[in-house]
Structure 1
């Protein structure tokens, strides 16, 4: 028998009152003054099962403590040239805000090459953006709009997507697992734009296998999606690859502050300067040396097994046209 949402939140809150001080501290860092909303996210991710949500949340708190996640914003990726390489090959940025005040993150799925640094640096950077979003961006939006804003919108640019890009599957699986287990329900809607045939073929197979809750979050838009996205955000908040049809590459060709992926963009400048300042504030000067911040990632659960099998079958059918040479073991669909 399902538990009513408010009752489930009360039960989970009572369980959280019993955790030890280290877990209470990291939970406070997570919820940023909104514990009820955070409990609701974990419950929603586990279909409102209190027992499952409790286990998920405790596992998350343990992961944060064991990997010093509360300190990850004091660990800059240095030197700056290395960080620029990460930014040029892991295409993500904050393009603006929706009409409701939700941060709009642009992600260059098709053209992210992940070839300028080791896996650890990319994972570190991804978690740092998550933490900066949750501790700086979302609280600032909450203050500006006068109501709690705890989620974001993501626009996924599929320009340049090829089956050969699945050679990055190990890294993408790690990032997906981190988000799924530790940052659930942080994305309100995923807007997919510039989708080529490869994506369309995969989506037809994956869509029926997704939970209804996840399926409702994904909207595949026509072309660059400009007209649809302008219904929920101003033109100034549109990612650069949505501002006109046939925009071309979403990769940083001439860099510049107009491309939200670029290290020169205000978002990344503010993020990187924030991390460097936090490092100095926390007296981590002696630790400011080159070297990635290693994070352990729990093994992925079996939730996506059927999806992987279906995708493998479909991709083998079309793989000959795109030179697919890498196995897809471990591919997961993230519903966070």
Structure 2
């Protein structure tokens, strides 16, 4: 749903004015940061303009934030540094630059992320911290720099390296996507998918019809590394390394850590990690810090995502069986000669 009526926004804001108990009121202020209408529009779009559903969604989000202390999550570093480096090497996500309109460009190594170096709670903690850093630091800084309110980002998903083994990662990705859909709705304006292997093309034909129309409109599958199309909306310096033709095409490895926005050595992750360390020092003065991962309540209800995951699992398994059969037939032919 693209357009939200002024009446729906008015009704939604009136309902939210009734939320006056602490700490829901405080966390709501941290969510909208003075842009109340924009926040209401995001949640309304996520619920197809239905005011009561959008209201329930936002209140549930606020309760989730309070119960899991999301307002304080940027004061809870993942330590030691070697553990965080392992997470960055297996959860490929980073900020590569900005579009010409000032939208932050986040790169996601969907094909080569393995999520196998830490517990699920560390990966969820890391993802939420990047979300919160985006909303509290990156987007306000972009708003100030470009002189207009910027509340959304662009994501570029690299499918290079996607294999049948991705089946084991789908549930982890589903948890992350569900957290985003339920608590950070409509924060991404467009998803660009690049370096698409045959296995993705096969699955995409089956999954695409399952997506809601508002989701379909956001997704663009680009040819090759996507460089030609992406240069229409951003400068070369903002392209992720895997969208540069001279790169090896790998999400994970680059000639320079300064160019690889997934690396802990990249300026974005250095700034993020230093910010969290500084916040933790301020936080510790108020109350002692617990060691270990932050355990965030994971989504129990997954609607669109659950259907997509089941379909993906089925298609990947079928794809694997077809490949095994083809390999067996080829082996028989070779032996016949």
Q: TM-score, normalised to structure 2's length? A: 0.91
| Map of 1:23 onto structure 2 | 24
Structure with greater Cα Rg: 2
Write out aligned runs for 1:30-69 (5 A).
30-69=31-70
Conserved in 1, the CA contact under 8 Å of 2:90 and 2:117? yes
Following TM superposition, the consecutive aligned residue runs of length 4 or more in structure 1 with deviations greater than 6 angstroms are none
Moved more, 110-119 or 245-254: 245-254
Distance change (3 Å), C-alpha of 1:115 and 1:286 = farther
| Map of 2:77 onto structure 1 | 76
| Map of 2:118 onto structure 1 | 117
- The CA deviation string for residues 145-167 of structure 1, in whole angstroms up to 9 with x for no partner, is 11110000000000000121120
Moved more, 282-291 or 109-118: 282-291
| Map of 2:219 onto structure 1 | 218
What's the secondary structure of 2:132's corresponding residue?
A: helix
Tell me how far apart the structure 1 counterparts of residues 4 and 91 of structure 2 sit (CA, whole Å): 41
Tell me how far apart the structure 1 counterparts of residues 59 and 176 of structure 2 sit (CA, whole Å): 20
Write out aligned runs for 1:1-336 (5 A).
5-19=5-19, 20-244=21-245, 247-252=248-253, 256-283=257-284, 287=288, 290-320=291-321
Tell me how far apart the structure 2 counterparts of residues 4 and 254 of structure 1 sit (CA, whole Å): 46
CA shift for structure 1 position 254: 6.0
What's the secondary structure of 1:283's corresponding residue?
A: helix
What's the secondary structure of 1:189's corresponding residue?
A: strand
| Map of 1:328 onto structure 2 | none
Moved more, 209-218 or 146-155: 209-218
Please list every run of 5 or more consecutive structure 2 residues that lacks an aligned counterpart in the other structure. 325-337
Distance change (3 Å), C-alpha of 1:322 and 1:190 = farther
Conserved in 2, the CA contact under 8 Å of 1:74 and 1:278? yes
Conserved in 1, the CA contact under 8 Å of 2:170 and 2:309? no
Tell me how far apart the structure 1 counterparts of residues 59 and 105 of structure 2 sit (CA, whole Å): 29
Tell me how far apart the structure 2 counterparts of residues 321 and 291 of structure 1 sit (CA, whole Å): 43
Q: Greater helix share, 1 or 2?
A: 2
Tell me how far apart the structure 2 counterparts of residues 219 and 193 of structure 1 sit (CA, whole Å): 9
Tell me how far apart the structure 1 counterparts of residues 106 and 8 of structure 2 sit (CA, whole Å): 31
| Map of 2:329 onto structure 1 | none
Aligned residues: 321
CA shift for structure 1 position 315: 2.9
- The CA deviation string for residues 108-132 of structure 1, in whole angstroms up to 9 with x for no partner, is 0000111111111000000000000
Tell me how far apart the structure 2 counterparts of residues 309 and 251 of structure 1 sit (CA, whole Å): 28
- The CA deviation string for residues 265-285 of structure 1, in whole angstroms up to 9 with x for no partner, is 000000000000011112259
Distance change (3 Å), C-alpha of 1:73 and 1:199 = same
Conserved in 1, the CA contact under 8 Å of 2:241 and 2:247? no
Please list every run of 5 or more consecutive structure 1 residues that lacks an aligned counterpart in the other structure. 324-336
Distance change (3 Å), C-alpha of 1:294 and 1:322 = farther
Distance change (3 Å), C-alpha of 1:289 and 1:306 = closer
Tell me how far apart the structure 2 counterparts of residues 193 and 263 of structure 1 sit (CA, whole Å): 23
Moved more, 110-119 or 220-229: 110-119
Tell me how far apart the structure 2 counterparts of residues 224 and 299 of structure 1 sit (CA, whole Å): 36
Tell me how far apart the structure 2 counterparts of residues 90 and 306 of structure 1 sit (CA, whole Å): 24
Conserved in 2, the CA contact under 8 Å of 1:89 and 1:116? yes
